[in-house]
Structure 1
Amino acid sequence: MAIAELGVVVLDCPDPRALAAFYAGVLGGTVEVEGEGEWVDLKVPGGQALAFQRAAGHVPPKWPAPGDSQQFHLDLTVEDLDTAEKGVLALGETTLDTENRSRSFRVYADPAGHPFCLCAC
């Protein structure tokens, strides 16, 4: 029997509203701002919610950096890698890995520097 159920994945960032808008553009869903915007939720239809928390001293993880941890990353499943890549490029991602375009995944960073992968299903 499980002890707990996953409630939400929270990403620290300097601008929760902007990062929530980026992921809403990628995943769809509804952005819900609480109070002064220090905490912002993204409710994704049929999926796991994401939340974004203001962290004034946020330092983006380094990738790839064998001596540093990327801390975590999101794997986002897509139908077509090329089409999805065009979409995230338009939203302001940074491409982190362009070496092997034949793999079933591609690595990017969101506007706050968190790594994420687009993965072909």
Structure 2
Amino acid sequence: MALAKLGAVVLDCPDPLALAEFYAAVVGGAPSKGDEGWYDLEGHGGTPLAFQEAPDFVPPAWPRPDRSQQFHLDLTVDDLDAAEKEVLKLGATVLEADDRARTWRVYADPAGHPFCLCAC
């Protein structure tokens, strides 16, 4: 029997509203202001996402063992090429997407958190 259930994935970042808006454009939903320095992403139908202000945030470096990625999100998409175009327009950057034969590609969100687009 589980001791707990996952309540939310919370991302530290310098601008919680901006990052919540980025993910709202990627997975749907809308940012909702929570406590000071906190936004939730509501209405997207997946695992709850939240964004917490961290003024001294240092983004992870991927892939580097001296500044580990800490975690990453896997986002399932129907069309890798179309999804890639959209996340890049929204402000994502490519971390590893050269191998076009793979079923996944790695990007960083505007705050520097790694995430993968994965073909379903």
Tell me the TM-score normalized by structure 1. 0.94
Which one-letter code corresponds to 1:64 in the other structure? Answer: P
Task: Give the 4+ runs in structure 1 shifted more than 4 A.
Answer: none
Amino acid at match of 2:62: W
* Alignment RMSD: 1.1
CA distance in 2, matches of 1:43, 1:105: 26
AA paired with 1:101? R
d(CA) in 2 for partners of 1:67, 1:100: 25
For residues 33 and 104 of structure 1, the distance between their equivalents in structure 2, rounded to whole angstroms, comes to: 35
After the TM superposition, which residues 62-73 of structure 1 pair with which residues of structure 2 at under 5 Å, given as runs? 62-73=61-72
Aligned residues with identical type, % of pairs: 66
> Cα distance 1:102–1:58, how it changes in 2: closer, same or farther (>3 A)?
same
Give 5+ residue unaligned stretches, structure 1.
none
The answer on 1:55 being equivalent to 2:50 is no
Q: How does 1:56-95 map to 2 (within 5 A)?
A: 56-95=55-94
- Paired residues in the alignment total 120
Residue deviations 1:59-102, cap 9 Å, x none?
00001213331100000000000000011011000101133111
- Secondary structure in structure 2 of the residue aligned to 1:96: strand
Query: Which stretch of the first structure deviates more once superposed, 74-83 or 58-67?
Result: 58-67
Alpha-carbon distance in 2 for matches of 1:44, 1:115:
23
1:49 Cα deviation after fit: 1.0
Tell me how far apart the structure 1 counterparts of residues 97 and 78 of structure 2 sit (CA, whole Å): 19
Amino acid at match of 1:95: V
With the length of structure 2 as denominator, give the TM-score of the two structures: 0.95
